[in-house]
Structure 1
Amino acid sequence: MIDDIIDGKWKHPDTGKAADVDYDRVVIDESLDGREAELVAAMNLGERVAIVADEATYAALGERVENAIARLKPDLIVLDHPHADVKALDDLADRLSEHTGAIAVGSGTINDLTKYVVGRDGRPYCVFGTAASMNGYTSSTASITLESGLKTSLPSTAPKGFFADLTVMAEAPTFTRAAGFGDCMARSTAQIDWWMAHRLTGSDYQQIAYDIEWNDEVELNKRAAGVGAGDIEAMGYLTRVLTLCGLGIAFTGVSNHGSMGEHQISHYIDCFMGEAHPGTLHGQQVGVASLTLARLQQQILSREEPPHIMPTLIDYDDMVRRMGRRIADDCLAEFQKKALDEAGASTMNERLRKVWPELRRECLAFAIPVAEMERLLKAAKGATTAEELGIPAGFYREAIIHNREMRNRFSLLDIAADAGLLADFAEGEA
């Protein structure tokens, strides 16, 4: 399916249209040792190529790639403990300014930095993944922390090629595999959030993003313990699901299918925990947050009567206290787009009363039961509580309550908050 989507052979079943993709090739195999030069040559990266890595990813795979393409005389750029922020972007932009193309060797940060820098002027790049830790390898967005400190997804470019050596990925630290699996667990909660937003606000929803990854998700979940153990077959399914989630954007144009309330909680942690941040990966946090969202969704969807919505309360002074004025102003502009006034709350309540029985059934059909999600995450050696991540309960509860202020994506968190249910729910999470 991945090859057919990229080649334009797999058509949207409703529209008959092929995906709009920039990729030339995705290769997922047990080993790519000895194939690196062939894979890079097919990317047409130009006359002057750079390899971008950090110390760990260079040791894991970068040196092998460098030796394999030695005849191209690539320039090597090894970043020192990089963060995907504006400062690192500016530094990498300077170092890549004379290059016609780039090869990223790494996962989240390395991939995001490289794709955004070369994407600004349309230069090509490819990526050799070193860990199955996130679903952004094939996405056309980059997750970047702005000068204000706000972390956001910016339009970028997809790689010409994504190459996954499953042996290298299986040998990466266990927590990286758990992070990728945690990102996959978000499917259930994100789908409920996105569908509920569609039914209640009339916003867009596209089932196609879930359909293309469903069969692989089923097979992946059967092999959750294999993810934890670094089993090659399990790593293959994990990498396929992560790849297909990224490819979903080629059909939908947005990341909503894999990133709703659970990702907002993780973004809040990354933006506002500061020096106290335990260094956990985004996907690890998403796994825990997905369990939190699943519990909240289950609690609300178990009600025979719909929640009663009140106008959205916005405490700007409190936002400034927690975020700083610059970020608070950015977030306020987004938050106000989905905030409900008296008329909006009345309309929402009327809509909820009309569709609630049907909406409950629809959403529950998308759900993975909370106990099953927890079992799967544990089998994959992922954390299931904020305490296991090293995040204090008080801050995690703050993230649950206030993450919805960060972006204009209506989710069940907004329903719970505007119904006066979210703060009490958060008290039970740790």
Structure 2
Amino acid sequence: MGRWTTSLIDEMVAGRWVNPETGQPGRVPYDIVVIEDRLDGAEADLVAKLGFSGRLAVVSDENTHGVMGQRVEAALKKLGSVESVVLDHPHADEANVAALKDRLRHADAVIAVGSGTINDLCKYVTSLDGRGYCVFGTAPSMNGYTSTTASITIASGLKTSKPAHAPKGVFIDLAVNAAAPTYLIAAGFGDCLCRSVAQVDCWLSSRLLGTKYSNLAFLIEIPDEKELMRRAPALAKGDIEAVGYLHRVLTLCGFGVSFTGTTNHGSMGEHQISHYIDCFAGKRHPGTLHGQQVGVASLSMARLQAQILASDKPPVVAPTRIDEADLRRRVGAEVAPICLAEMAHKALDHAGAEAMNAKLEALWPTLRAELQGFTLPVEAMRTALAASGGPTTAAELRLDVGFYREAVRHAREIRRRYSMLDLAADAGLLDRFAETQH
């Protein structure tokens, strides 16, 4: 296996790991997860172990086909007929879902070769009829390889997390992944940098609104997260060991969805900011990756959380204010009702604001200490992200700074998940904070 092992991942896949929250075996819905220094020559054996045969479709894109797709196609010919499906600059949206569903209609099983978009498309399309699929990852650019949800942009332009299903197998050739462009590796690091800020948001929501919270999804990541943070500079050099740790953290974050049934532990305020950028930047979008945006947004969330937690007095909230006319201007007439419906789940009226203030007054000393226990120093996060080769500001993303500030102010409107963005907005603190972000 090389210089490190995947023993925890292996135990979870085999069903030998015991979930400390339930005392029961905590198996995840994957037949095989393999993260090795090299998989060259093992592709057919790995796929055969999944029981795939007959008509196989290997799906890649214009980049990943040359990186690994051709190699996988050639290796799988011993198992059955192989159709090469090479997508041209695909996006994970409803139009591409429909097109891929048609192209794969004759396939008995699907093999994805790629990362975020390719994996999400294949995962979602095969989940519609239950066909098996597996994925050969080509870059550690996101945590979705082992997630049972797919990020799909719907016709209105809103990015959503769709229920899907797990791949039967996840196969990571670290030599291939370590050779990926630095910005892809740094994007994966940015995507998992959110653990601390997401944990703050999740615990805050649990304590103030009574939403479900599971510590497990965070606990299984943290030991590898500590090792990964130390190795951030090595990511920019394509170091196989560092990329191995990155894949471990990304894999365990995906596993967390299986244990909790939600993506909350890896997607709170920081992801809402990234989703807002993707949904509403339009021509202002610089073409940056989700993980790159999450990294920058995680730093903004960490600063906001630190600012609010620095006070020994709780914030004082007022009823939630939503400028519906401005909302419709920003997101369009079709999306605005969706946002208003999401906000209805967490918006405070006068009675709700009074109750929230009473709760904050009673809880603040304890809640503040609890939340501070989850945090990482903002400067340590920024330094690690920069060392990995990732952007740390909106300007470095080449994103219009004014629009980024808009995203910080209004990202809370697109999902019902309650985060520090909501608390800050209701307390009248968010607008001023957003103006400091660049």
- Relative to the length of structure 1, the TM-score reads 0.99
The alpha carbon displacement at 1:20 in A equals 5.2
Tell me the CA shift for residue 379 of structure 1. 1.0
Counterpart Cα distance in 1 of 2:84 and 2:28: 28
Aligned to 2:58: 51
The residue identity in structure 1 corresponding to 2:419 is S
- Give the whole-Å Cα distance in 2 for the aligned partners of 1:308 and 1:269: 29
**Preserved CA contact (<8 Å) 2:220 2:252:** yes
**Other-structure match for 2:414:** 406
Which among 236, 239, 260 is matched to residue 268 of structure 2?
A: 260
Please state if 1:192 is matched with 2:192.
no
Map 1:195-206; keep pairs closer than 5 Å. 195-206=203-214
Q: Deviations over 1:230-249 (max 9, x none)?
A: 10000000000000000011
* 2:389 maps to amino acid: K
Q: 1:70 — aligned with what?
A: 77
SS state of the match for residue 193, structure 2? helix
Is the Cα contact below 8 Å between 1:19 and 1:250 reproduced in 2?
no
Equivalent of 2:116, from 108, 116, 122? 108
Structure 2 counterpart of 1:250: 258
Shift of 1:44: 1.7
Match of 2:335 among 312, 327, 333: 327
Q: CA deviation at 1:59?
A: 0.6
Q: Give the root-mean-square deviation of aligned CA atoms.
A: 0.8
The one-letter amino acid paired with 1:13 is P
Mapping of residues 21-420 of structure 1, within 5 Å = 21-71=28-78, 72-420=80-428
Matches within 5 A, 1:11-30: 11-19=18-26, 21-30=28-37
Q: 1:69 is aligned with what amino acid?
A: L
Secondary structure of 2:345's counterpart equals helix
Q: Distance in 1 between matches of 2:359 and 2:55?
A: 58
What CA distance in whole angstroms lies between the structure 1 residues aligned with 2:356 and 2:105? 51
Output the CA distance in 2 between the equivalents of 1:151 and 1:76: 28
The whole-number CA distance in structure 1 between the counterparts of 2:219 and 2:420 is 22
Residue identity opposite 2:354 in structure 1: S
Q: Which consecutive residues of structure 1, in runs of 5 or more, have no partner in the other structure?
A: none
What letter is aligned with 2:153?
A: T
Question: In the aligned structure 2, how far is the partner of 1:45 from the partner of 1:116?
Answer: 18
Shift of 1:192: 0.4
Q: Offset of 1:177 from its aligned partner?
A: 0.5
Task: Name the SS of the counterpart of 2:134 in structure 1.
Answer: strand
The SS at the match of 1:303 is coil
**Runs of 4+, deviation exceeding 4 Å:** none
Moved more, 13-22 or 402-411: 13-22
Going from structure 1 to structure 2, the CA distance change for 1:351 and 1:157 (only over 3 Å counts) comes to same
Supply the AA of the counterpart residue of 1:26.
Answer: V
Give, as a single letter, the amino acid of the residue that structure 2 aligns with 1:404.
Answer: R
Instruction: Quote how far apart the aligned CAs of 1:335 are.
Output: 1.1
TM-aligned CA deviation for residue 73 of structure 1: 2.0
Quote the residue 1:5 is aligned against: 12
Identity of aligned residues (%): 58
- Separation of aligned partners in 2, 1:127 and 1:263: 24
Quick one: distance in 2 between partners of 1:377 and 1:39?
A: 34
SS at match of 2:218: helix
Contact persistence 2:37–2:240 (CA under 8 A): yes
Counterparts of 1:136 and 1:76, CA distance in 2 = 23
Q: Deviations over 1:193-239 (max 9, x none)?
A: 00111111111100000111111111111101111111000000000
Give CA-to-partner distance per residue, 1:33-55, whole Å, 9 cap, x none.
01001011111224111000001
Is the 8 Å Cα contact of residues 264 and 406 (structure 1) preserved in structure 2? yes
Letter in structure 1 aligned against 2:295: G
CA distance in 2, matches of 1:190, 1:50: 37
Deviation at 1:14, TM superposition (A): 2.3
Query: Aligned partners of 1:157, 1:329: CA distance in 2, in Å?
Result: 29
- The TM-score, its normalising length taken from structure 2, stands at 0.97
> Counterpart of 2:5?
none
Q: CA deviation at 1:344?
A: 0.8
Give 1:275 deviation, angstroms: 2.1
* Per-residue deviation, 1:107: 0.3
Tell me how far apart the structure 2 counterparts of residues 11 and 352 of structure 1 sit (CA, whole Å): 36
> Could you tell me how far apart the structure 2 residues matched to 1:252 and 1:243 are?
15
User: Partner of 2:110: helix, strand, or coil?
Assistant: strand
Match of 1:44, as an amino acid? G
> Which residue does 2:4 correspond to in 1?
none
CA distance in 2, matches of 1:377, 1:76: 37
